[in-house]
Structure 1
């Protein structure tokens, strides 16, 4: 592609397709990304929260396995375009929402990622705070009763320190993230392996842990189960959208598909086993489940064990934060202002905005996390539905990459916006979220991600077939739009 053909408002070096010789990520790189992403404090709290609401260990394990397989399929499918064309999510989504309209879903996804960056940063800082209390006897009372919106001075300082650690990983952009994940992903197994051993020991073996029965009424288990699957998917609803930001660096399509399979269902199953064992073990030992991994650490009485555990937890949290919660908003902001914002500048801006989200309020109890995840799934599910429909049904996996960077190409639609994508997204979000406000259809909200994806997929496909866009610039473009391209 000749850069002179591109609208300056639509591209910069970070948004342009990755050159074939620079696509060097192998299956291990994708697997290590997921190893690092899954093993983190909020995910542990979510899995542990399922035990806390009364599900049996075996039911929770089934929830994780089903959710991880669904996630794998969605991620592999949406990552196809990134691996094939080397383009990031905000560019890929221009084919469905329009070259200008793509900014709307990209910013929505970026906003959610920034919220999660704040949550993960605070979660990691709580572990760091424990380490500092063990190193300094007076740390916990520093600042007296002073607090910022409920967060006392030691917690605030820990939060800011941990925030800085996240920023340091971004120094060399995507390449530094790739290198960090290669060793950070496997490392986090150490802490969770040790916690599993501890839980088995205090519970008197695996038998008492997995013998615990469900406390949920048989008539309610179906909706509780499907709601739990939706909640787990909701954690990664954002990454489903922007997985092309990573697969664009794949050496081949096979590498991203294979790597994500190794890293997601397999890793998630091991993580679920560890989380369930620790949470249920604490229930056997203490009479109630401890779904906060940081609280579990407080039961250890050896300073060295606590220090190693906290450091590993911090590494795990940084791993998921930079991969899942910085890459997307960095590209999304670059897509909005490509002339002024590069990937690294977008990452720094996103991290600064995360400071303003007051994440400690979102982490006060498990129910607030699940409510947040349900809303995320309902809002972002329809965007994924539109992307699936456009790429696989309308485009037949064929894009005119040149036109993704033009204001007058086939993806310009009407003044840069494709109304069909917006209509499908809005209706899909309405259907999936209405149950949050109307008790009679609450079941739709309980499975909001699935409802949103299916509704938007069907509506978008119908609108594109019934009222196809008129903008067809070249013969090649016509062939792609009609699905007749090779």
Structure 2
């Protein structure tokens, strides 16, 4: 057989073995603090307090953050259990070729977020240089800041974790100072932060406004909910642990606890900024509330926050996806710089003003994928995966010319339903996508294309860390007629 099948075996996409899982509970929580300090989250708070009091904005944010964090943890088990990334597992519900289509949409969205966050960081960097050296050119700052982030990400996950360990405490301290300053500014303007609302709404309009805040928070992280496995495959977890909650303990602490606390705080700062200044642009808010050295320190927080967010939440997932599409000759570092180029070409400085409707639309489209992943991994395969065939161009996941039509039909229906009910986008997309995929796959597609782990749900053959197994994928091409030999000794791992 030709080397054509090797395109599924890019070294950066092979399962992560137990000894390469380097992120612990505290490390993942710190990564989340860094990721969740996203200045675009200020827009959710600023938009929310135009119709609701701060209390209701906070409650909606907590609900939305917990729900999306739970989705991340559920989907993240794919990485914890099997060491698989998002684009690799997507070969199961979408096919070995079909995976590229939804994956590229996720990669494009991540690249856009990289550009938006880099733009915020570059304006803050420009502000610092203006204070120190009277320098004023945000575009040069953008280019420099983008290159520094991309190089940091290209160095690998350990470099990202080390940076998060450094940035997270600094970000927390400065964020508290920023909140206090803006609160005082609001009181000076005669606006009590807990009762002030620009355009109060009641009745059904209040319920709609409340739900929009929930869905905006969920849509904000819908991209990461889909491809959490790309990060979770590096999270430490105990071998032979069959209790789902114990196995995913680090994920729960990061995805639900750290995310909810940090996201809520960022939304509150955005809300208070709008109450005080009628503007939730963080750079504008800081320039109005501080000056001199204090302003420089606060702007530095913005730079650190965007850097920490971009590396983990945007560049790593996008680079992993682009590497999957490009194959072995397109390594992870090339995917990193591709994400940077795309994120710049979309002119992110023009995107911030449309961010709330974009979040709802993006959340709806990607929530259907999250629902499909849930149905495929938990309801149909029951967490058992024929991992070898994910890297076999002629294996069970090839389906019809590399496409799983059940996945695409379910995605189309779920995404359309979410777009029609935009205020409930994430929930609608998730539920409709999951239900459609379950019935289409179980009673149609998998009747035509049998799945080994469904036909024979053997733990020793198809589970990963739960039975102490590392999935070992040979780098030689796989023949369609090859026999898969599975070692019964889970400690030793398995080979093709």
Band of TM-score, shorter chain: 0.7 to 0.9
Query: Which aligned pairs between 1:35-74 and structure 2 lie closer than 5 A?
Result: 35-51=33-49, 53-74=50-71
Residue in 1 aligned with 2:437?
Answer: 460
Separation in structure 2 between the aligned mates of residue 477 and residue 268 of structure 1, nearest angstrom: 34
Separation in structure 2 between the aligned mates of residue 328 and residue 453 of structure 1, nearest angstrom: 20
Per-residue CA deviation, residues 281-313 of structure 1 (Å, 9 max, x unaligned), is 55665xx53312211210244411111111121
Which of 232, 237, 240 pairs up with 1:247? 232
Separation in structure 2 between the aligned mates of residue 97 and residue 122 of structure 1, nearest angstrom: 34
Which of 62, 79, 87 pairs up with 1:90? 87
Which of 238, 262, 268 pairs up with 2:253? 262
Contact 2:377 2:383 in 1 (8 A): yes
Asked if 1:161 corresponds to 2:139, the answer is: no
Separation in structure 2 between the aligned mates of residue 22 and residue 220 of structure 1, nearest angstrom: 50
Separation in structure 2 between the aligned mates of residue 103 and residue 279 of structure 1, nearest angstrom: 36
TM-score by length of 1: 0.86
Residue in 2 aligned with 1:143?
Answer: none
Residue in 2 aligned with 1:370?
Answer: 356
1:277–1:485 Cα change, 3 Å:
closer
Which of 299, 305, 308 pairs up with 2:288? 299
Separation in structure 2 between the aligned mates of residue 160 and residue 432 of structure 1, nearest angstrom: 36
Q: How many Å apart are 1:92 and its aligned residue?
A: 1.0
Residue in 1 aligned with 2:312?
Answer: 323
Asked if 1:210 corresponds to 2:194, the answer is: yes
1:82–1:275 Cα change, 3 Å:
closer
Q: How many Å apart are 1:227 and its aligned residue?
A: 1.6
Query: Which aligned pairs between 1:270-309 and structure 2 lie closer than 5 A?
Result: 270-271=261-262, 274-275=265-266, 278-279=269-270, 281-282=272-273, 285=276, 288-309=277-298
Q: How many Å apart are 1:91 and its aligned residue?
A: 0.7
- SS class of match (2:12): coil
Contact 1:184 1:319 in 2 (8 A): yes
Contact 1:80 1:247 in 2 (8 A): yes
Residue in 1 aligned with 2:339?
Answer: 350
- SS class of match (1:222): helix
Contact 1:115 1:357 in 2 (8 A): yes
Separation in structure 1 between the aligned mates of residue 237 and residue 261 of structure 2, nearest angstrom: 27
TM-score by length of 2: 0.85
Which of 420, 424, 429 pairs up with 1:447? 424
Residue in 2 aligned with 1:111?
Answer: 108
Residue in 2 aligned with 1:411?
Answer: 397
Root mean square deviation, CA, Å: 2.6
Residue in 2 aligned with 1:17?
Answer: 15
**Unpaired segments of 5 or more residues in structure 2?**
239-244, 464-496
Q: How many Å apart are 1:273 and its aligned residue?
A: 5.6
Query: Which aligned pairs between 1:224-235 and structure 2 lie closer than 5 A?
Result: 224-235=209-220
1:55–1:260 Cα change, 3 Å:
farther
Residue in 2 aligned with 1:440?
Answer: none
Contact 1:203 1:281 in 2 (8 A): yes
**Unpaired segments of 5 or more residues in structure 1?**
141-153, 436-443
Residue in 1 aligned with 2:328?
Answer: 339
Q: How many Å apart are 1:269 and its aligned residue?
A: 4.7
Q: How many Å apart are 1:28 and its aligned residue?
A: 1.3
1:79–1:445 Cα change, 3 Å:
same
Per-residue CA deviation, residues 227-264 of structure 1 (Å, 9 max, x unaligned), is 21111111111101111011111221667733343334
Separation in structure 2 between the aligned mates of residue 22 and residue 280 of structure 1, nearest angstrom: 41
Per-residue CA deviation, residues 321-366 of structure 1 (Å, 9 max, x unaligned), is 1111111111111111212111111111211221101011112x3x
Separation in structure 2 between the aligned mates of residue 156 and residue 485 of structure 1, nearest angstrom: 51
Query: Which aligned pairs between 1:357-436 and structure 2 lie closer than 5 A?
Result: 357-363=346-352, 365=353, 368-433=354-419, 435=420
The structure 1 segments of at least 4 consecutive aligned residues displaced by more than 6 Å after TM superposition are none
Separation in structure 1 between the aligned mates of residue 18 and residue 259 of structure 2, nearest angstrom: 31
Count of matched residue positions in the alignment of Structure 1 and Structure 2: 452
